[in-house]
């Protein structure tokens, strides 16, 4: 790509509503952003022109700090290549891969292995989260310093909590000393029991053991207190309850370095959406109540969450078609996140593009210490063209992930990712316009 001109697009930022401008890119660098447009002589000869018609959104590309790419290990469900192609399809140009691989990503060589696979097979950067404990077994600390030296940007035993508070305390002390953020999956397993759904009326109706909100909230409060004691940087993954959100707020107000994320599916769905044992809605932590869903959305709008993260968790059809209790937890999200957030929240006016850019592009990168892409002269091009006037149908043919375990399968939503640009590469092209 030599020169690319986006004409009459609405440029999105994290701090203000989109404003109309022309954006010129040459050799992967933004050469100018002009509200009044570029004169003919200012555009290089032969430049490719994309007309936004004063309607299409040009946004900084998105970033997901919590995904499961399954490789090495369960490559029937996902690989680094297929998962990152799914990310591109969803307007995402960077991800953080969780360590629940087989074997677990719990050492410097394992971190290097994941990075090497990504270097060979992915068209976008893949950042690695190392494990807190060896084998993610919660007993013996993993090689935290070695993993950081190999390039790990955080540590977590995601998928499982660290049950032993003394082990977690020591992990936080090491993480503090080596300046690594520790991310926590909050669950008190003695309270969760065999639960496969939120404890409540719908679990009772289906005859299933439920996981109470207390299971998450008690562990979350413990981990925040340990972070306060040790001085570590703590990130709480996939928060699902208002009480948990408020606990993070309280500790943050007391000076604790704690951040939190919310997943799109916990903003969209509730436990009753499971219906008659639909495993596409089975996840851990589980979908909660209408009151929690509404409170999480208000918390996101109020800035109580630092970022949005999908917890992209691919599984094969065979796995998800097992009976409800035996089916694995998790849904995919990389391809559906931006369009579904637009459809449910931006389009009806619950929040604007500025919040979406801040919480799903800028802040996730800041969380792991990465530069934040902005659409401004002199900046490397890392952007997405979004069309609000068309729809996306999440068919199997459309999706790039090897797994399609999502409630959005075969649904049609408003909005579409038309184009993805990273440096001097166009990673996703706008759909062809039919002749005539």
User: Which residues are part of the catalytic machinery?
Assistant: 311
Per residue, what are the HEC states of the chain? CCEEEEEEEEECCCCCCCEEEEEEEECCEEEEEECCCCCHHHCCCCCEEEECCCCCEEEECEEEEEECCCCCCCCCCCCHHHHHHHHHHCCEEEEEECCCCCCCCCCHHHHHHHHHHHHHHCCCCEEEEECCEHHHCCCCECCHHHHHHCCEEEECCCCCCCCCHHHHHHHHHHHHHCCCEEEECCCCHHHHCCCCEECCHHHHHHCCCEECHHHHHHHHHHHHHHHHHHCCCEEECCCCCHHHHHHHHHHHHCCCCEEEEECHHHHHCCHHHHCCCCHHHCCCCCCCCHHHHHHHHHHHHHCCCCEECCCECCCCHHHHCCCCCCCCCCCCCCCCHHHHHHHHHHCCCCCCHHHHHHHHHHHHHHHCCCCCCCCCCCCECEEEEEEEEEEEECCCCCCCCCCCCCCCCCCEEEEEEEEEEECCEEEECCCCCCCC
């Amino acid at each position: 790509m030599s020169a690319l001109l986006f004409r009459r697009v609405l440029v999105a930022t994290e701090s203000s509503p989109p404003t109309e401008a022309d954006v010129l890119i040459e050799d992967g660098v933004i050469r100018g952003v002009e509200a009044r447009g570029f004169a003919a002589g200012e555009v290089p000869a032969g430049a490719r022109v994309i007309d936004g018609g004063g309607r299409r959104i040009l946004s900084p590309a998105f970033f997901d700090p919590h995904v499961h790419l399954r490789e090495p290990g369960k490559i029937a469900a996902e690989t680094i290549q297929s998962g990152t192609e799914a990310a591109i399809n969803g307007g995402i140009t960077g991800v953080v891969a969780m360590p629940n691989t087989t074997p677990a990503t719990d050492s410097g060589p394992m971190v290097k292995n994941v990075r090497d696979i990504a270097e060979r097979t992915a068209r976008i950067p893949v950042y690695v989260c190392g494990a807190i404990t060896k084998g993610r077994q919660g007993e013996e600390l993993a090689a935290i310093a070695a993993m950081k030296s190999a390039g790990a940007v955080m540590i977590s035993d995601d998928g499982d909590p660290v049950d032993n508070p003394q082990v977690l305390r020591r992990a936080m002390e090491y993480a503090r000393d080596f300046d690594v953020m520790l991310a926590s999956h909050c669950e008190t397993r003695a309270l969760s029991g065999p639960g496969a759904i939120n404890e409540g009326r719908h679990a009772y109706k289906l005859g299933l053991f439920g996981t109470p909100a207390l299971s998450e909230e008690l562990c979350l409060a413990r981990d925040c207190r340990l972070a306060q004691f040790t001085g570590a940087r703590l990130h709480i993954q996939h928060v699902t309850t208002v009480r948990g959100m408020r606990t993070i707020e309280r500790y943050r107000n007391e000076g604790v370095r704690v951040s939190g994320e919310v997943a799109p599916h916990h903003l969209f769905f509730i436990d009753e959406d499971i219906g008659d044992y639909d495993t596409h809605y089975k996840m851990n932590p589980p979908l909660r109540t209408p009151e929690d869903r509404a409170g999480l959305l208000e918390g996101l709008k109020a800035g109580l969450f630092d970022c949005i993260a999908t917890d992209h968790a691919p599984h094969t059809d065979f796995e998800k078609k097992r009976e409800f209790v035996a089916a694995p937890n998790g849904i995919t999200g990389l391809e559906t996140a931006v369009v579904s957030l637009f459809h449910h929240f931006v389009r009806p006016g619950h929040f604007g593009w500025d919040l979406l850019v801040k919480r799903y592009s800028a802040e996730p990168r800041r969380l792991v210490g990465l530069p934040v892409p902005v659409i401004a002269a002199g900046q490397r091009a890392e952007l997405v063209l979004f069309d609000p006037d068309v729809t996306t149908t999440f068919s199997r043919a459309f999706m790039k992930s090897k797994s399609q375990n999502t409630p959005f399968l075969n649904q049609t939503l408003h909005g579409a990712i038309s184009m993805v640009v990273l440096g001097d590469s166009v990673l996703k092209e706008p759909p062809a316009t039919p002749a005539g």
